[in-house]
Amino acid sequence: MLTKEELQNTLKDNCLNLRFHGRGGQGAVSAANLCVEAFHGYGVCQPKFGAERMGSPTESYVRLSLNDDLVRNNEQVYAPHVVSVLDPSLLGEIDVVAGLAPGGWLIVNTTMDQLSLQELVGREDINIATIDALNIAMEILGRNITNTIILGAIVRVMPMFSIDALADAIMMRFKGSIAGKNIDAIKKAYDETCIYESKNAPKLDFTIDTKIPWQQVSPELPGYKELDKAGVWYCDETIIEMGSSTVNTGSWGEWDMIWNKDVCTDCAQCWFICPDFAILRKKGDDGLWHMIGIDQEHCKSCLNCLEICPVKAITKKLKQGPASCAAPQ
Ligand code: SF4
Ligand code: SF4
List, for residues 236-292, the tens digit of each pLDDT value.
555 555 545 555 556 666 788 999 999 999 999 999 899 878 899 988 899 888 999
- The rounded distance, in Å, linking the Cα atoms of 205 and 310 is 53
Is there a contact between 274 and 305 (Cβ–Cβ < 8 Å)? yes
- The rounded distance, in Å, linking the Cα atoms of 79 and 77 is 6
- The rounded distance, in Å, linking the Cα atoms of 315 and 256 is 9
- The rounded distance, in Å, linking the Cα atoms of 55 and 8 is 36
pLDDT of residue 238: 57
In the chain, domain spans: 4-212, 217-247, 249-318
Note the pLDDT tens digit of each residue in 17-33.
Answer: 999 998 877 888 899 99
Q: When comparing pLDDT for 69 and 211, which is higher?
A: 69
- The rounded distance, in Å, linking the Cα atoms of 130 and 138 is 17
CA atoms within 13 A on the CB side of 318: 4
Closest residue CA from atom 4 of ligand 2? 267
Q: Determine the distance separating the centroid of ligand 2 and the alpha carbon of 300, expressed in angstroms.
A: 18
With CA atoms as reference, report the closest residue to 89 among 44, 32, 143, 134.
134
Alpha helical stretches, state H, 48-146: 114-121, 133-136
- The rounded distance, in Å, linking the Cα atoms of 257 and 318 is 9
Ligand positioned closest to the Cα atom of 309: 2
pLDDT band with cut points at 50, 70 and 90 for residue 93: confident
Range ranked top by mean pLDDT from 22-36, 64-78, 143-157? 143-157
Closest atom of ligand 2 to CA, residue 267? 4
Say if ligand 1 is within 6 A of residue 305 CB: yes
- The rounded distance, in Å, linking the Cα atoms of 293 and 229 is 17
Closest residue CA from atom 1 of ligand 2? 309
Q: Determine the distance separating the centroid of ligand 1 and the alpha carbon of 50, expressed in angstroms.
A: 31
Q: When comparing pLDDT for 327 and 261, which is higher?
A: 261
Per CATH, the number for 4-212 is: 3.40.920.10
Q: Which top CATH class is 249-318?
A: alpha beta
- Residue of 280, 302, 303, 314 to mutate, ligand 1, most atoms within 8 A of C-beta: 302
User: Same topology for domains 4-212 and 249-318, yes or no?
Assistant: no
Q: Determine the distance separating the centroid of ligand 2 and the alpha carbon of 261, expressed in angstroms.
A: 9
- Residues 138/143/149/150 CA torsion (nearest 10 deg): 110
Say if ligand 1 is within 6 A of residue 279 CB: yes
- The rounded distance, in Å, linking the Cα atoms of 20 and 23 is 10
pLDDT of residue 160: 94
